[in-house]
Structure 1
Amino acid sequence: MLVEISVVEQRYQAVLEVRAGSTVTDVAERFGVCRQTVHEWLARYRDDGLTGLADRSSRPRRSPGQTAPEVEALVCELRRNHPRWGARRILFELGRIGCPGPIPSRITVHRILVRHGLVDERPRRRRREEYLRWERDRPMELWQMDIVGGVMLADGREAKVVTGVDDHSRFCVIAAVVPKATGRAVCLALVAALRQYGVPDEVLTDNGKQFTARFNAGGGEVMFDRICRENAITYRLTKPRSPTTTGKVERFHLSLRRELLDEHPPFVSVAEAQATIDAFRHDYNTDRPHQALDMAFPADRFRPNTDDGIALTLPPSLTAAADEIGPPSPPAVKRVTGSAARATTATNHAVEVTRTIPASGNMTVSGQQFWLGPAHAGREITLWADTTVVHLLLAGVRLKTVPSRFSLTQLHQLLTDGGRPAGPSPINPAPAPPGTAIEVERTINACGLLALAGRQHPVGFHLAGQRVTVRIDHGVLHLLGSDRAVLRSLPNPLTTPEQGRIRDARPAGPAPAPDMQPLRVDRRVSSRGSISIARQKIQVGIGHAGRTVTVEEADTTFRIHHGDELLAEVARTTTRPIARFKARKPEPPRRRPDILAPPSEPMSRSPQ
């Protein structure tokens, strides 16, 4: 009969045979192992007895290649302070600011972020080497131009931005804010860039009517065509519906929207929007490394062409207006790296000052204006300012952040006029404990979408362009107006990890007033007596078929009214937001039952 013995018993038998007089070679051959293994069993039995023959972990006691805890903590801190930085950018910044240990590889940085839940692991579609990237061989050989919207003004208008990017260096040569994207405004932006940087060899645009008359009924030549022709610029057009052809300028639009326009409050004027976008453009050109350029800066690869000695030829109708505007003059800031950058930051002292908001809501400090709105008139606000950024805090809560135009001389003057040395920057407050309500300021974009945790959430076209306070309290998301009145309440679409990644979040203030007006939408009852709201089907009754009813949204229920009559109240089982607010078709007129058609009179016959 076969008897199965354990591995420990077999090792014990091998040890007993050796101790009984058998040679190690014979025992190793009989048990199918090498001689070194038998010697190891003997040593373990001699030291620990029978327990020493049990299976042991082969994990090494130490790992010389393990990333130092200081480096891992610095990687996580950089990611939390800059949620849009990936592994490549974090690796670049480690070498830029000085790493406390050996610099890890890119994949090590990525694994650190995944291990700490700072990056969601996603399957790779294609290898990076399989993408074919094309670019011109030298700067000023090709400019890509386009127009982008999304610049919301305080009076409800939407301005446009005329943009241009050098194909070789990714250097932004044009970022002009215009109230309307007319052909004349686009040409003025192009002329200002030509005067500042010189004339490129080629210009590439899409088929917008500001650039070409290609699809106009009359055809002909527009002013943009004429400027290119008279200055020997080869003008190229993309194929219709081919945005990837101008992919470099479209990528600039994505960064502009994500990092500035989606999170910025409405601008007071076009001039303020232009100053803010100029600051973003300067940072984009000089202080932001690009992965497509092997982490080089666009300003390092760009070379203007202003010394060619050829005068710029302009149409007579455009010359006077171009002379009035003149070329843009961004501030000349010298970029430093390494220890020099740390020394510059150390001498860039921040200042805190307290001011009272005037009745107009437009406050001026040392020549720089800050729009806060008449609703905050008479309240005291604290400014945390340095030479790069200004934070506006009301009762310790940060209202907005704008680029700083203060010089070191102006900061010292603010200290003399009653200011005080500032503490740490309020841009990265401590995260709220899990389960507590949080708030964040956001602007609803022109499509009625709200940007939270890297995703867009539909909240309704009727809120487009408004600056709201988003309050997340457990399973409910409230949108609050300037007076903290509830504009709309929705189911919370974010998970707990996503709530921890919300940028600029703070502990929530007092709960909104309970007498808020619920959202009301119209629906028409189908022939089967049902309606659909947020993809939830509700049965009202076949007796109400064809009627237009009003649906009142609550946190957990839907109430269906017809006039003053409450038809039904059902539990809300959907988490989708309401995207349609009106009935699809108008309700047909209903005939009163007491009004009957007049009977037809019999025809009278004429006498024969």
Structure 2
Amino acid sequence: MLVELTVTEQRYRAVLEVEAGVPVTEVAERFGVSRQAVHRWLGWYRDEGLAGLADRSHRPHAHPAQTPPEVEAAICELRRNHPRWGQRRLHYELGRNGCPGPIPSVSTIYRVLVRHSLVDALPRRRRREDYRRWERSAPMELWQMDIVGGVLLADGTEAKVVTGVDDHSRFCVIATVVARATGRAVCLALVAALRAYGIPEEILTDNGKQFTGRFTRPRPGEVLFERICRENGIVARNTKPRSPTTTGKVERFHQTLQRELLDATPVWPDLASVQAAIDTFRHEYNTNRPHQSLDMAFPADRFTPRPDQAPLPLRLPSSLAAPQLDPTPPTTPLRSTAPLVMAANGLEPVNLAVEAERVVPASGNLGVGGQQFWLGPARAGQTITLWADTTVVHLIVDGVRLKTVPSRLTTAHLRQLLVDGARPAGPPPLPTGALRPGAPIEVDRLVNATGLIGLAGRQHPVGYHFAGRRVTVRLAGALMQITTDGQLLRSLPNPLTSTDMARIRDARPAGPAPQPPSDPLRVQRRINCRGALVVAGQRIHVGIRHAGATVTVEAADTTFRIHDGDRLITEVARTTTKPIARFKVRKPEPPRRGS
């Protein structure tokens, strides 16, 4: 019966034969090993006995390239103190803050982390060199902008953060916390960055409704963000739908912001505390945090702002332009104060009226005592005098009444205004009571989707291009004027009789006559195959060489001027008095089947 011998037993027999006097060469040949192996077995047997003949590891006792224990301890301590740091960041910090020994390579640090169970060993991915990274060659060539949520406040609402990153340097140019990510809030954050760092050449965003109106239904249009870019020479670029990797740099900034700041505080007290924390994080991110994609350089080292090198000054819509506030309030002559009439209880006045000065904000929407008064962005920065009681509010500029609206202010609101610096009011600028027969009146109306407004129980057309706008209708004699913010938009014949005008609800005495528009009315027309177009019922022959082109027609009082882009094609006398009812080019009809 054959029995397999172990390695230890075979070595023991070889040692016994040598000890019995058999030559080492003959023993080595019989067991199929070298003479040196037999001598090594003899030495192990003499030193350790039979246990020394057992198989042992070939691992060396020491190696000159082995990582020193103190370096391994420093790596593990940094990792435990900063669980988000990877091997590249640890390599950088060891060289930055001093290492107790030679600085190991990135791969060595990774193996140390795996050996101490500080990271999970993962299968090797594609090398970074295999990916093709794109970036602009210089700062201020391209900004990437986006909006990120996940900021929970103590009142139960969720705030948003408007972010922007320079493509070349990864420098964070925008990090603004907003309660709601409206188009106006996004534009205000952009304007602050433009004033601080200058105007970039391009801005890349996704297709959010704050950034583009090309997907707006029922008809695409230009949003405020696109208008700011267009007026300042910035190319507004949008990604393909459902392609977040195109704006990967700002998305990566979101990940860093979420991991290193927002996750540490699940609920924030208010917007101010969030903004203060993000400002601190942003400064650290730009100036003291190495970026791996920049070979561990700081973003601030590669970013160069140019706020004073723009060829043209920053152009902003009036709704976003900062109003220039006059530090000295205008002197308004005080009128004699009417004596207060007290109620039956002798405590509350029944005819309390106050006057107060307020500055119109940039939005044009003035709020006083919980009631809002729309004045328009064109009046941003102006000082308005309010004459208010519990029934009516008059808005006055330089002694001229702009509008009169019903008051929703209570006696408590009026008393609070007196505490805040208002003064008891004199007589009202307009007498109370019924409107004078035959006097001009005005009323505010919202134009519906078909271009109609309601007056005296009937619908009257004013133009579908005003759809959705709130306008002021001024009725004076035989003329009906459509105005907004004191600017004349359109004049039409007055379709109402004096009896109808007396039935209009919310009517008030008209203010000063509106200013005529500074620019002529512009409409679009497509030249037909015969080289002609029709405006307000007048046929104008332009030339068959322009057939199919879309042109712009400037309608003045006596002439029509036809422009193809910036080039004037022709100018003809206006022979019609019909109003213009169509302002945009009609869409081409779809081809019929079989044609």
Q: What is the TM-score normalised by the length of structure 2? A: 0.50
Change (3 A) 1:323 1:164: farther
How far off its partner does 1:284 sit? Answer: 1.2
Change (3 A) 1:46 1:214: same
8 Å contact kept, 1:227–1:313: no
How far off its partner does 1:46 sit? Answer: 4.3
CA distance in 1, matches of 2:25, 2:84: 63
Pair 1:270 & 2:271 matched: yes
Pair 1:76 & 2:81 matched: no
Partner of 1:221: 222
8 Å contact kept, 2:203–2:237: yes
Partner of 1:369: none
CA distance in 1, matches of 2:308, 2:195: 11
CA distance in 2, matches of 1:51, 1:149: 68
CA distance in 2, matches of 1:257, 1:16: 72
Cα deviation code 1:473-515 (max 9, x no counterpart): xxxxxxxxxxxxxxxxxxxxxxxxxxxxxxxxxxxxxxxxxxx
Cα deviation code 1:375-415 (max 9, x no counterpart): xxxxxxxxxxxxxxxxxxxxxxxxxxxxxxxxxxxxxxxxx
Cα deviation code 1:556-577 (max 9, x no counterpart): xxxxxxxxxxxxxxxxxxxxxx
8 Å contact kept, 1:140–1:303: yes
Partner of 2:305: 304
2:322 counterpart SS class? helix
Partner of 1:178: 178
Change (3 A) 1:5 1:191: closer
The residue identity in structure 1 corresponding to 2:144 is Q
Using CA pairs below 8 Å that are at least 6 residues apart, which structure has the higher relative contact order? 1
Change (3 A) 1:39 1:137: same
Q: Which moved more, 1:145-154 or 1:15-24?
A: 15-24
Mapping of 1:86-235 within 5 angstroms? 86-124=86-124, 126-217=126-217, 218-235=219-236
Change (3 A) 1:242 1:309: closer
8 Å contact kept, 1:148–1:160: yes
8 Å contact kept, 1:162–1:178: yes
8 Å contact kept, 1:165–1:174: yes
CA distance in 2, matches of 1:268, 1:16: 85
Q: Which moved more, 1:315-324 or 1:250-259?
A: 315-324
The residue identity in structure 2 corresponding to 1:85 is W
8 Å contact kept, 1:188–1:322: no
The residue identity in structure 1 corresponding to 2:172 is C
Change (3 A) 1:181 1:7: closer
Change (3 A) 1:322 1:312: farther
How far off its partner does 1:236 sit? Answer: 0.7
Cα deviation code 1:114-142 (max 9, x no counterpart): 33333233444544444332222222111
CA distance in 2, matches of 1:13, 1:150: 76
Change (3 A) 1:23 1:229: same
8 Å contact kept, 2:188–2:320: no
Mapping of 1:321-336 within 5 angstroms? 321=322
CA distance in 2, matches of 1:46, 1:316: 97
How far off its partner does 1:95 sit? Answer: 1.2
Change (3 A) 1:239 1:16: same
8 Å contact kept, 2:228–2:317: no
CA distance in 2, matches of 1:116, 1:95: 21
How far off its partner does 1:2 sit? Answer: 4.8
2:216 counterpart SS class? coil
Mapping of 1:332-481 within 5 angstroms? none
How far off its partner does 1:205 sit? Answer: 0.5
Cα deviation code 1:27-71 (max 9, x no counterpart): 333322122212223333444555543333333333443333322
How far off its partner does 1:23 sit? Answer: 4.6
CA distance in 2, matches of 1:313, 1:2: 98
2:121 counterpart SS class? coil
How far off its partner does 1:318 sit? Answer: 4.2
The residue identity in structure 1 corresponding to 2:280 is A
CA distance in 2, matches of 1:46, 1:19: 11
The residue identity in structure 1 corresponding to 2:283 is H
Change (3 A) 1:186 1:104: same
Partner of 1:57: 57
8 Å contact kept, 1:205–1:246: yes
CA distance in 2, matches of 1:273, 1:4: 76
The residue identity in structure 2 corresponding to 1:156 is G
The residue identity in structure 2 corresponding to 1:249 is V
8 Å contact kept, 1:188–1:318: no
8 Å contact kept, 1:195–1:312: no
CA distance in 1, matches of 2:316, 2:4: 99
Partner of 2:339: none
The residue identity in structure 1 corresponding to 2:230 is R
CA distance in 2, matches of 1:270, 1:8: 76
The residue identity in structure 2 corresponding to 1:167 is D
2:318 counterpart SS class? helix
Cα deviation code 1:502-532 (max 9, x no counterpart): xxxxxxxxxxxxxxxxxxxxxxxxxxxxxxx
CA distance in 2, matches of 1:11, 1:303: 76
Q: What is the TM-score normalised by the length of structure 1? A: 0.49
Change (3 A) 1:182 1:39: same
CA distance in 1, matches of 2:113, 2:268: 36
CA distance in 2, matches of 1:232, 1:16: 96
- What percent of counterpart residues are identical? 71
Change (3 A) 1:322 1:214: farther
How far off its partner does 1:213 sit? Answer: 0.8
Q: Which moved more, 1:40-49 or 1:246-255?
A: 40-49
CA distance in 1, matches of 2:281, 2:6: 70
Partner of 2:290: 289
CA distance in 1, matches of 2:181, 2:9: 86
Partner of 2:244: 243
8 Å contact kept, 1:290–1:298: yes
Change (3 A) 1:309 1:266: same
Aligned residues, how many? 324
Mapping of 1:558-573 within 5 angstroms? none
Partner of 1:257: 258
Change (3 A) 1:322 1:195: farther
How far off its partner does 1:9 sit? Answer: 4.0
How far off its partner does 1:22 sit? Answer: 5.2
1:321 counterpart SS class? coil
8 Å contact kept, 1:76–1:113: yes
8 Å contact kept, 1:151–1:266: yes
Partner of 2:29: 29
- The structure number with the bigger radius of gyration is 2
Change (3 A) 1:29 1:159: same
